[in-house]
Structure 1
Amino acid sequence: MPRLALMALAVCVLAVAAAVVSFVEGSFVGIVWVLLAGISSNMAWFYVRKAKIEREQRAATSG
């Protein structure tokens, strides 16, 4: 898994944890954390798919 995908996944997990804590404390700032989790999740999927496509292209050109 690419390094950027791992970092985005870590941000996603931390944002979800922050959202849970915010909602448990009764703060609606957790909505911002949920949005950040969604964006970072999409970034992680993007980098995983990008690496997979690049790997397939390298395999196709080399043999």
Structure 2
Amino acid sequence: MPSKKKPCRKHLPRGLDILYEDDAILVVRKPAGLLTMAAPGSRDKTLYAVLTDYVRKG
């Protein structure tokens, strides 16, 4: 794996450790209990939603 790049974004997601980030890859340590993707009918917070918000805010 290439050397770790430091995230330089202003809006770092709370509760997630960003292990590596470049223009194509984002590697995070996800806390237990946080869904990766929403289940049908679920309104719980998900890793997908958190990271989508993080990338959009740049």
What TM-score does the superposition give when structure 2 sets the normalisation length? 0.29
Query: Which structure has greater helix proportion?
Result: 1
Query: Which structure has greater strand proportion?
Result: 2
Which protein, 1 or 2, shows the higher relative CO under an 8 Å CA cutoff with sep ≥ 6?
A: 1
What TM-score does the superposition give when structure 1 sets the normalisation length? 0.28
